[in-house]
């Protein structure tokens, strides 16, 4: 729950974030269509989560559930924001989920 009321500026960015989510657009696509900077949308998303105006557990578009691969010899993780991680060696579903959670924080 937010500790302070939302400001007009915060509401402006919250409206953009909600609109992007409702349209099923990635923030990058939404920013291009609205002539905004994707980096601003990501920054405001983080800020609004930290202020309690967006839930931290909000479902991220573009992510898929982690499927157990047993003990894979390698894995490549490519996120919608372009973040790419290649792993060699034992990769299990717990490690992969931890890496996905960490990659979500990269903007």
pLDDT at position 89 is 76
pLDDT at position 62 is 52
Q: Where are the domains of the chain?
A: 8-51, 72-104
pLDDT at position 35 is 95
Q: What is the DSSP string of 36-94?
A: --HHHHHHHHHHHHHHTSS-TTPPPTT-------SSEEEEEEE-TTS-EEEEEEEE-HH
pLDDT at position 4 is 79
* Average pLDDT, 10 consecutive residues per value, the chain (107 residues): 82 93 88 94 90 69 54 69 74 74 68
pLDDT at position 58 is 44
């Amino acid at each position: 729950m937010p500790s302070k009321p939302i400001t007009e500026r915060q509401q402006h960015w919250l409206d953009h974030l909600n609109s992007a989510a409702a349209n099923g657009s990635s923030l990058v696509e939404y920013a291009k269509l609205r002539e905004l900077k994707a980096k601003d949308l990501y920054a405001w998303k983080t800020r609004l989560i930290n202020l309690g105006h967006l839930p931290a557990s909000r479902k991220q578009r573009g992510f898929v559930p982690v499927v157990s691969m047993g003990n894979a010899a390698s894995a490549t993780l490519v996120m919608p924001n372009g973040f790419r991680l290649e792993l060699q060696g034992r990769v299990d579903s717990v490690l992969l989920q931890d890496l996905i959670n960490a990659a979500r924080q990269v903007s």
